[in-house]
Amino acid sequence: MKVSVQREDFDAGAEIRALAQDPKVGAVASFVGVVREVPMTLEHYAGMTEREIGKIVEQAKSRWRVMDCTVIHRYGELKPTDQIVMVAVASAHRGDAFAACEFVMDYLKTRAPFWKKEQTAEGARWVEARASDDLAADRWTEKPGSRRLG
Amino acid sequence: MKVRLLFFAGLREQLGSAGEEIELPAGVTTLAGIREHLRSRGGNYEKVFSGKALVRMALNQEMAPPAAPVRPGDEVAFFPPVTGG
């Protein structure tokens, strides 16, 4: 398991290859978040961030057959097309890898203490939390058989 | 008792402070109590902690409810809802 909160960019391909070294791994599902349109500064709560992400990864391991997992989240100044976040999950089969990857990402968005400040043409503004992110995270605690978001 | 306060993001900017060591008045023993104590300072503290804007709280780097008790030396953080990812 690897959790890194860093200023520097990362090599998503190298991270995915690193997760596929174990011959028992049959699937690596990954997500990369990228800055869209507006430059931004990302602030975080050093210490708590790593702990929260670690807890999310542990929850994913308790729910799905996760063989390995990498989470990288950047902070500092980022510009459009820059990579912000990467989650990659290795498992024997794709079902567990896809589900765990999406779960980690949804929980990260609503629980890890990061804050985005966008540098718009009108000036800097803090991004407000979105209700849709809470809904995306909440669906993992709904009862089996209940509705999934489209 | 003495605790360490931390403020993040929009809260930090509104208060003009990233945090402080504070000696709590007698009787202030919970996160809600600290929040009310800060609000009573007036000015920007009143604005931030008056209850209109959402303020999240963490105790020793774990999310915690308003009723959570604090102990000497604790790290108490206040911040807006998170927007990472």
Q: Give domain status of residue B84, yes or no.
A: no
| A115·B63 Cβ contact <8 A | no
pLDDT at B58: 97
Establish if A149 touches chain B: CB-CB under 8 angstroms. Answer: no
B75 assigned to some structural domain:
yes
Query: Looking at the domain assignment, is residue B34 inside a domain?
Result: yes
CB contact under 8 A, A111 and B9: no
Using the Cα atoms of residue A72, residue A116, residue B32 and residue B15 in order, give the sign of their dihedral. positive
B54 found inside a domain:
yes
Pull the structure tokens for residue B66: 């308003």
Q: What is the sign, positive or negative, of the torsion defined by CA atoms of B71, B74, B77, B82? A: negative
A133/chain B closest Cα distance in angstroms: 9
CATH number of the domain bearing residue B22: 3.10.20.30
In a domain, B53, yes or no: yes
pLDDT tens string A13-25: 999 999 999 999 9
Contact (CB<8Å) A109/B9: no
Q: Which residue of chain B has the CA closest to A49?
A: B61
Give me the residue spans of the domains in chain A.
2-141
Closest chain B residue to A34, measured at CA: B85
Beta bridge partner(s), residue B56: B79
Measured distance CA(A101)–CA(B66) in Å, rounded:
32
| Region A2-141: CATH code | 3.90.1170.40
What pLDDT score was predicted for residue A150?
A: 44
Range of the domain at B37: 2-79
Segments in chain B below pLDDT 70: none
Residue B85 lies in a domain: no
- CB within 8 Å: B84 and A42: yes
Helix axes A48-63, A94-111, angle to 10 degrees: 150
Confidence tier at A144 by pLDDT (50, 70, 90): low
* pLDDT, tens digit, 9 for 90 and up, residues A129-138: 888 888 888 8
Provide the shortest C-alpha distance from residue B9 to chain A (in Å): 6
What is residue A93's DSSP assignment?
A: S
More confident residue, A144 or A111: A111
Strand partners for A117: A41, A126
Q: Tens digit of pLDDT for each residue in A29-84?
A: 999 999 999 999 999 999 999 999 999 999 999 999 999 999 999 999 999 999 99
CA distance B25 to chain A (A): 27
Residue A149 clears pLDDT 70, i.e. is over it: no
Residue B23 falls inside a structural domain: yes
